[in-house]
Structure 1
Amino acid sequence: MPATLSRLLRLIGVCALLALLGACSGGGKRSGGYYLDDGPDANPPANLDAVPDAVPKIEAFTPSTSKPYVIFGKTYTPDVSGGSYRAQGHASWYGKKFHGKATANGERYDMYGMTAAHPTLPLPSYVRVTRLSNNKSIVVRVNDRGPFLNNRLIDLSYVAAYKLGMLSPGSAEVLVERITPEQIRNWQSAPVPARFVATTTVPPPAATSAPAPAVPQAQEPKPVSDTLALSDTARQSASTTSTTSTASAAAPVTSAQVPVAPGSMFLQLGAFADASKAQALATRVSSQIPADLGASVRVDQGSNNLHRVRIGPFASREAAVQALSPIQTSTGVAPSLSPP
């Protein structure tokens, strides 16, 4: 029996019993946040911090999990469109009780693997989960269905919850963002040989020439599908910043071949087929990002001929994650982690 169905049947049975006793009001949870008599292993591995994030790749969806289904009288319709998904809500986790049992798509649940369960995302798919209280961020592979109780948004594996620091509370407010097929193609794009990243110069205005026309903020460059669109509030803020900070010229992005150390990471703001749109975005955000980041805005062309606007390099993934929030606040664009 799949782990999801097994979990569900046990929850139904216990809740029915508790309802008879007048006590079924907590959604079948015990203190600590995990389900029923589930929980951590007695002797978990000592190197959980070293467990890597899931590496996104394009996979065929499991047909049996792509059809609408009904749980507790509610119909869930899986989204197999391949489009973007961004939602905020509560995450919970499940552990040893289901370790080694079948997931909804027929795989075996590994509590020490970077996986998750979601009611409607396609199986399998990949999401970035960010805990909002501490800004910790992970990438997990969705291969199971659930949760269906307590208005939970996503169920994480034990190690995924550990890396977000939410084992003890059992649940946490998170932001879940799907990594789309287009983003995955960029993720998998081969690096430039010798681990160099070729960058393109954003030229400053010439002192003797007429002022360059301002980038029209009302017609924000339209990103391809791997770029998160600005919210209306962010657009207004970005437009205001653009018109009030013309005195602070953007520092030009070096055009030299810049060596990238192993283990470094970039933050990507967008990817465009049109190089001029990429340059326009780079020009705008280069004057908006915090000066103490110690990283520059650059435009480089990937193997798929998309012009990527990225900030970096950061010395490590952790350093890049720490920069996510200040960059989004200052630019109005939600960046994504981007390997060299």
Structure 2
Amino acid sequence: MNRRTFGLAFPLALLASAAPLSLKVRAAVKVDKNAEQLSNGEFNWFPERSPDGPILIIVSVPDQLVHVYRNGIRIAASTCSTGKPGHSTPTGVFKILQKDKHHRSSTYNNAPMPNMNRLTWSGVALHAGNLPGYPASHGCVRLPLAFSELLFGVTKVGMTVVIADEESQPSEVVHPGMVLGDYARREFAAVDGAVKAYQYSQGHTENPTSTSVVVSGKDRSMTIWENGEIVATGPVDVASPDRPLGDHVYTLTKVNGEDGELTWVATGFSARWEGDTDTQVIRRIKAAPQIKRELERRMHQGMTLVTTDDAAGTTTTAVDFTVMTGFF
């Protein structure tokens, strides 16, 4: 079944493999190689290339590689092992729901899952595990132990993880309008204020807000999710409606108050896209005034905007936001 479904808490019944950590994992090697040159169990780590800013993780299932980007710059990459046949790792857009450094499986004989970053409550996660050199898990993304420790140190609950059926190279998109459409310059203060308020709150609260926005070309609608729940919906206009929007993921990385521009890091998560570019797609979307105001006051660096040509409706209420390409 290839219909994409927006929503939360799909009955995937996927959990990490019970295989114990192997010597390959414990002997994982940090190397000075490009991602494309990594051998099984190897990883690289160059945080100095982009010291701060929103992080985006992309898992390439065909390549069995994990890429870590900060502000659109790749700062790390690692080999991995995803789901084996019959237990495929679901592709799509996920939020980190929970972090547990010493997690153990509640399904597979209390098997250790060190440095666990949970992506769904039904069992999909990033964690250290056995890497045989091919897909072998029950749906999770296994990582070399040393890499998983470094990754655990930089991830945050609510950040975005894209699991893709190809390597999706992020690109930078600068949107000349404020938020999905034309605007008066005076309105930019609302966005700038929201971003600054969020940045302040990050240092004063244990529960950061996670915001995701879904734009459906089929429904001509925008849905805003906050901490896993729908907080606003409204109509959008799509220029050239006969052309598909495609599956795109945008992560807000910068707000330029001087120019009144937003900078996004964009990527895809499904089959190779040959339609409009990321920049062309976002410029085709114009939100109605009411929903645009709801979005303005929730803007923050690291928030995610997803476009799709499928319907965006859902009746589920759980808290693992995903954009799925199928059921497994």
Higher strand fraction: Structure 1 or Structure 2? 2
Query: For the pair shown, which has the larger CA radius of gyration, 1 or 2?
Result: 1
**Relative CO higher for 1 or 2, CA cutoff 8 Å, sep ≥ 6?**
2
Higher helix fraction: Structure 1 or Structure 2? 1
* TM-score relative to the length of structure 2: 0.30
